[in-house]
Every structure is written in C-alpha cells, then in structure tokens.
Amino acid sequence: MSAENSASLPVNQPANDKPLIKKSYVIIGVIVALILAGLFIWGVVYAAQNLPTQIETARDIFIIALALESCVFGVIILLLLILVIRLVNMLEFEIKPILEKTNETLGTVRGTTAFMSQNVVQPVTRASSYLAGFRRGMQALFGDPKKNLRD
C-alpha cells in the first residue's frame, strides 16, 4: 500500500473493508436463536398442560434458587461497600498526606531553584561574560597570544 492510500484512510477504519463477521452469519444466528426460543416456550407450555405437578416442583426449586442468589448478591454488595469504605479511608488518611508533603517539597524545590538562579547562576554568568569581554578586548589590543609567542 502506498503512502498516499494509507494517508487518506480514516484513523479508526482498518486497511481492508471486510467486516469481522459476515452479515449472513448474523442473520442465521438470529433465526436460530428465535427458533430455539420458540421451542423453549412451546416446551414450557406443553409441560404445563401435561405435567402440572412437575412444573410446580420446578417452579418451587427456581424460587428457592432465586432466594439463595439474592442472599449471595446481598453479601457481595456488602463486601463491595466495605471495600469502597476502605478505599476512601486510604485515600483520605494515607494518600492525601503524601500528596500534601509532595506539594510542600515541590514548593521548597521551586524556592531553592529561584534562590540558586538569583544568587549563583546569574552572578557566575555575569562574571563569565565580563571575563569573556575582557579577554576579547585584550585580544583586540594585543592580538592572539598564541600567535605572538614564537618558539
């Protein structure tokens, strides 16, 4: 593929235009799912008409299973609530002081940097520029000392 073709493609679109799943597979899957759902409903209606005691027993078993499931979900929600409370406490009492100390340290570093810039870097730069100017002036007056000395 040339650079012109790849540059004209949108960012989210793959290089080939083939879909991941063919449309015919999706249609066949939906039809099969509808047939299975219809067969399940027909089986439940058939069993309700011909086997009422077994359906009542299955219904009671499903009610008990749903009750147990709701108890399990209640315990899981309670555990998640405890974990959220622990997370909030950790953020407030452990992470927050660390962030405050880090912010204080950054303020100290900024102050030290400003102090060093004003009291060390600027005077050294100024002295270095004066020295370079002096050397250049001496070089202009007396010439290059390496060329003036003869062996």
- Contact predicate 28/42, CB 8 Å: no
Nearest partner of 111 among 77, 103, 26, judged by Cα: 103
What would the pLDDT profile of 76-97 be if each residue is shown by its tens digit?
A: 999 999 999 999 999 888 888 8
0.75 exceeded by pTM: no
* 1 — pLDDT class (breaks 50, 70, 90): very low
Q: How far apart are CA 85 and CA 76, in angstroms?
A: 14
What would the pLDDT profile of 27-46 be if each residue is shown by its tens digit?
A: 999 999 999 999 999 998 99
Q: How far apart are CA 46 and CA 48, in angstroms?
A: 5
Q: What is the DSSP secondary-structure string of 58-69? A: HHHHHHHHHHHH
In terms of average pLDDT, the best of 2-6, 31-35, 93-97, 137-141 is 31-35
What does each C-alpha distance from 43 to 20, 36, 59, 61, 97 come to in angstroms? 35, 10, 15, 18, 64
